[in-house]
Amino acid sequence: MPAEQHSELRHIHATLEWQGAFASLQHVRGHAFTVDEPAKLGGKDAGPTPLEYVLGSYNACLQIVIVMIARELQLHVQSVELESVATVDRRGLFGTAPVSPHYQRIECTIRLGVDDADGVAIERLKELHRARCPMYNLVKDAGIEQELTWLVSLSGKHADAAVRGA
């Protein structure tokens, strides 16, 4: 197929440089970052673990897509904060039980401050976010349970105490 038919496809390239034991230096698009395991697992704790990077990337992706869609909907974002807690059964990694070694569940609290928005616009934002966020959908497609709690402040006043949705 001609290249122009797939002009929206992007290839992400990463290389790994082993640093000994469990540590590695990752190179992506001119950036580098260290991945390691804690000392209690045999690493030197030189950086976050792969799963910790995944959770941080999850938060960052959710935030980026929230801001992008809010701009499209002409919502004026004043603040956005995310906090996620992921549950993993380490017995899978250690081979001591027949359980999956990846996350079983992610709970995320999204604190969003916006000006001049109504409930309909916020619901549209959440709907589009669920449909378009790459990490949300990657996690969903992997069968990992997600719970998003949206805490939305409108024009400085707490409008929605807690709006749950996944």
Point out which residues pair with 83 in neighbouring strands: 109
pTM beyond 0.85, yes or no: yes
**117 vs 78: CA distance, rounded Å:** 12
Query: Does one domain contain both 114 and 61?
Result: yes
Query: Does one domain contain both 9 and 65?
Result: no
Query: Does one domain contain both 82 and 131?
Result: yes
Distances (CA, A) of 160 to 3, 26, 73, 113, 117: 47, 41, 19, 11, 12
The domain total for the chain is: 2
Query: Does one domain contain both 13 and 75?
Result: no
Query: Does one domain contain both 103 and 121?
Result: yes
The model's pLDDT over 37-94, given as tens digits with 9 standing for 90+, comes to: 999 999 999 999 999 999 999 999 999 999 999 999 999 999 999 999 999 999 999 9
Query: Does one domain contain both 112 and 140?
Result: yes
Domain range for 80 is 50-165
